[in-house]
Amino acid sequence: MDCLVINGGATLKGEVKISGAKNAALPLMAATLLTREECVLRNLPNLSDVQFMARILKSLGASVMMSRGTIRVRAKKIEGFGDYDLIRKMRGSICILGPLMGRLNEAKVSMPGGCVIGARPIDLHLKGMRDLGAKVRVEAGYVHAKAKELVGGESFLGGRCGPTVLGTANLMMAATLAKGRSVIHSAACEPEIEDLAKFLNAMGAKISGAGSPTITIRGVRRLGGAEHRVIPDRIEAATYALAGAVTGGDITLRNCAPGHLSAVLDKMREAGVRLQLGRGTLRVLPAKQLRSVDITTMPHAGFPTDVQAQMMVLMLKSPGISIITERIFESRFMHVNELARMGADISIEGPSAIVKGGLPLSGADVMASDLRASAALVLAGLSASGVTRVNRVYHIDRGYEDIDGKLRALGANISREPGQ
């Protein structure tokens, strides 16, 4: 397993291009299963999760060609239900459930895996399929779903911690080929859901309301091929913006969508970071004085849980006490113990982390537990004195394209080495 070795203290400067969004790319790739015709997706990030999804599509019988950020998929005929071992390793693989139900009225999908950040049940995914008339059971590690035909209905997808994003995507995809009208109440409002609806509509679907809590889908008899450009990755953009902030740097993000980052940018401004927004660009300038702020993660358009760990590093640099409350996942403070190795003073009280900022961080050997924790540890290493080794970076390769190369281009002293 590789590790990232960071000699901290460098001030980041320059420009960085933001890649396509992983959380948009995976459902978009799955959606290509809804048609026999060729689909083309551009601005696809070069990530291990994307490679995994391409292999899953191939295991289902699709023709897949990838080259320089573009994928061409043609699922002329779907064969079987995919490779169990491939699907169970990646949480995002559950998004093939909806397309298989829409195309075949039947699906057999292995229960998905992914980062260990707390319980992420798929009960709302299954409820959505039942609301379209499918019979669903979970047996021997598989989800089995089958219907004589899918019939439009009304579904409520609000969960204990808010709407389900992949559940909304799954139900929306299945409903495109269901008979009649479907309505999703308490739908996820994320930009990735809007992007998926845009692609499905280009294929011939009739979807309205995406980006709002109520989505309406009028089923059609068939979908055709389409071309689509994946939206920029808002989580990657937030991570680099915070990397600039924690190092006191001056960096410009290109190919980004600042409008997707409103909650994050609002908190960065409150913390004293200076920002300049342009059309598809974001410039991060050094703060004159960093300030502690309180943060609570919420469903979109609230502060995203996927940026909580990175924001914590900025709070470690900010004098004073800040309280970070996690309302989406109950086990998303696994980076705290690793930050403590670097000198961080953080205590956990229920769903909240109490962060004492302004203390110096020093390099240490740390272990990544999940994708966003990995990013936080890299940011901490950039801002710490001495050398930090971030182990198990296969986590970070799932969601950040060439992170070490991009950071080096900004002036970071970072290298990739074989792990111990």
pLDDT digits (tens), the chain, 420 positions: 789 999 999 999 999 999 999 999 999 999 999 999 999 999 999 998 899 899 999 999 999 999 999 999 999 999 877 676 777 767 778 899 999 999 999 998 887 654 443 344 788 999 999 999 999 998 887 889 999 999 999 999 998 878 999 999 999 999 999 999 999 999 999 999 999 999 999 999 999 999 999 999 999 999 999 999 999 999 999 999 999 999 999 999 999 999 999 999 999 999 999 999 999 999 999 999 999 999 999 999 999 999 999 999 999 999 999 999 999 877 679 899 999 999 999 999 999 999 999 999 999 999 988 888 899 999 999 999 999 999 988 889 889 999 999 999 999 999 999 866
- Rounded to whole angstroms, the Cα distance separating 155 from 185 reads 6
- Rounded to whole angstroms, the Cα distance separating 324 from 416 reads 31
Q: Annotate 203-248 with DSSP letters as a single string.
A: TT-EEE-BTBSEEEEE--S-----EEEPPB-HHHHHHHHHHHHHTT
Q: Do domains 2-18+232-418 and 22-226 have the same CATH topology?
A: yes
Strand, helix or coil for residue 158: strand
Among the CATH numbers 2.30.30.90, 3.40.50.720, 3.40.190.10, 3.65.10.10, which is that of 2-18+232-418? 3.65.10.10
Query: 22-226: what fold?
Result: UDP-n-acetylglucosamine1-carboxyvinyl-transferase; Chain (3.65.10)
Label residue 79 left, alpha or beta by phi (over 0 means left) and psi (-120 to 50 means alpha): beta
**Among the listed residues 86, 87, 173, 174, the one whose alpha carbon sits nearest the alpha carbon of residue 134:** 174
Read off the pTM: 0.94
108: which DSSP letter? E
What is the residue extent of each domain of the chain?
2-18+232-418, 22-226
Question: Token digits for 201?
Answer: 């509509």
**Among the listed residues 133, 199, 223, the one whose alpha carbon sits nearest the alpha carbon of residue 171:** 133
Number of H-type helices and E-type strands within the chain: 14, 25
Q: Nearest 5°: phi and psi at 386?
A: 85, -165
- Rounded to whole angstroms, the Cα distance separating 197 from 133 reads 22
Among 115, 161, 189, 256, the one annotated catalytic: 115
Question: Token digits for 382?
Answer: 């950039």
- Rounded to whole angstroms, the Cα distance separating 409 from 389 reads 19
Distance of CA 256 to the CA centre of its chain: 15
> Is 115 a residue of the active site?
yes
In one-letter notation, the amino acid at residue 390 is V
